[in-house]
A and B are shown apart, each in its own frame.
Chain A
Amino acid sequence: KAGVTQTPRYLIKTRGQQVTLSCSPISGHRSVSWYQQTPGQGLQFLFEYFSETQRNKGNFPGRFSGRQFSNSRSEMNVSTLELGDSALYLCASKGLAASYEQYFGPGTRLTVT
């Protein structure tokens, strides 16, 4: 069974630009969560999508948004990039059978210059 995949793995953007990151969950998983990881703040929860609906949302500004498609693939968008948005963005998928177990992808390393 293939794991969670994220594309691209590395990305360099300029301040003010926008970026879209993609996450493909494990086959059969309908829940996808997004996280931001920085050396200063550690891991922080961005949002969770389930069956194309945002189910939970962390404490991030509206520049961070996401969506989920009918095949459970998810995208995360960050508009008007700031230097502080440089981080490792992780997504994780979760199935229904093991209600709390989630599986992380390798992450997308975003650098904003």
Chain B
Amino acid sequence: KNQVEQSPQSLIILEGKNCTLQCNYTVSPFSNLRWYKQDTGRGPVSLTIMTFSENTKSNGRYTATLDADTKQSSLHITASQLSDSASYICVVSASPGGSYIPTFGRGTSLIVHP
């Protein structure tokens, strides 16, 4: 069964600090891994997308890494801001026969305090 596990479940940090969120997956055959940011009451917004051959992808202060051998990904947030307070969701898509089926993690709830 395809699964995506995220840790920690929740995280509280001070503004300006860095943090790293983790995502472990058992999805096969692997197609791509995406990180989304979801603000309360809004739809998710894509931060990064990585395929099998990519091991690092940056989007401003967000940097995602992918280790396809260990089936792990991380999302590093640099110099956190209050607006980073949100849920961060890891999504891994399988690709049976050319289509894709996404499996979602439960998300990490990040709270940034001033």
Co-assembled chains A and B: yes
The digit string for B1-37, where 1 denotes a CB below 8 A from any CB of A, is 0000000000000000000000000000000101000
Contact call B32/A42, Cβ cutoff below 8 A: no
Near B by CB (< 8 A), chain A positions 77-113 give 90, 92, 100-107
- Asked if residues B46 and A101 are in contact (CB atoms below 8 Å), the reply is yes
Chain A contact residues, CB within 8 Å of chain B: 4, 42-45, 48, 55-56, 58, 90, 92, 100-107
- Measured CB to CB, the residues of B under 8 A from A are 32, 34, 41-46, 49, 51, 89, 91, 93, 99-107
Query: What 6 pairs across the A-B complex have the smallest Cβ distances?
Result: A104-B43, A43-B104, A42-B106, A100-B49, A104-B44, A56-B99
In the complex, A44 Cα to B46 Cα: how many Å?
16
Chain A residues positioned under 8 Å from B99 (CB to CB): 48, 55-56
